[in-house]
Amino acid sequence: MDYSAVILAGGSSKRFGQDKGLAQLGNKPLVKHVLDAIGDIVKEKIVVVSSKAQAENYRRILSVEAHVVVDAGGIQTPLVGVLTGFEAAGGEYSIVLPCDVPFVSRDVVSLLLELCINKAAVIPRWPNCYIEPLHAVYRTQLALEAAKTPLSKGELDLKAMVDRLRGVRYVSTLVLQQLDPQLRTFFNVNTALDLKKAESMLKRPNSYSSSLPK
């Protein structure tokens, strides 16, 4: 089975103050942590950025490790980012991940890809029904078409794409916790303080206690 990875790196990073994907953690950029985690699980890796200047910076660092593409719509929203990534993806299924999740679990990614066979999408869901559409696997062409419709109507929420998919499988985070006990997969680096937390987590692998919704 051909799998692609779509890594979203086109956010404005207003709270962080610089391009998050290129911020250093443990002597390598955050985006490299994500790419290294998925390793050879996927056939191709696509990093979606928001400008040509940003693309040049990423290509310089990633070399041939990933294909860097620029957002097609000129609007910084995850929906445009995933649409751009799906258009570039050659795999039948694509896992979507942010560039700022340095502790994404290889085992969790492998499970989501496996569970997506013959489904439109596989999306993690917390016990309170909050979903994680940016840590999910999609059937590439189905999701591409589902993303086009809301954008044509000015709807920019990623949920608008998910709502148009038929055959979505939701996987409880309680299940994923069997593979990633602390659910570090969902730890995002949004602020400078988060980066400091990530540095501590690198040094002490069991130091993270999830404060995400449950």
Angular region, 112: left φ>0, alpha ψ -120 to 50, beta rest: alpha
pLDDT at res. 202: 87
CA distance 9 to 80: 12
Token pair for residue 50?
């928001």
Residue 210, pLDDT score? 54
pLDDT for the residue 63: 79
- Residue 214 pLDDT > 60: no
Mean pLDDT lowest among 10-14, 61-65, 95-99, 173-177: 10-14
Domain ranges of the chain: 3-202
User: Could you tell me the pTM of the whole model?
Assistant: 0.91
pLDDT digits (tens, 9 = 90+) for 64-87: 889 999 987 667 788 999 999 999
Q: What is the pLDDT of residue 56?
A: 93
User: Which of the listed ranges 55-64, 74-83, 108-117 does the model predict with the highest average pLDDT?
Assistant: 108-117
Neighbours of 72 (CB within 10 A): 15
CA dihedral 15, 126, 110, 2 (to 10 degrees): -80
Query: Which CATH class name applies to 3-202?
Result: alpha beta
Nearest-angstrom CA–CA distance, 150 and 189 = 28
- What average pLDDT does the segment 36-51 reach? 93
Percent of the chain with pLDDT over 70: 91
pLDDT higher than threshold 90 for residue 173: yes
Mean pLDDT of 140-168: 91
Q: What is the mean pLDDT of residues 108-123?
A: 96
- Could you tell me the pLDDT band of residue 201, with boundaries at 50, 70 and 90? very high
Q: Are 64 and 58 in contact (CB under 8 A)?
A: no
Amino acid at site 68 = V
DSSP the chain: --EEEEEE-----TTTSS-GGGSEETTEEHHHHHHHHHTTTSSEEEEEESSHHHHHHHHHHHTTSSEEEE-SSS---HHHHHHHHHHH--SSEEEEEETT-TT--HHHHHHHHHHTTTSSEEEEE-TTS-B-GGGEEEEHHHHHHHHHHHHHTT---HHHHHHT-SSEEEEEHHHHTTTSTT-GGG----SHHHHHHHHHHHHSTT-----S--
pLDDT at residue number 72: 74
Whether 182 has a pLDDT exceeding 90, the answer reads yes
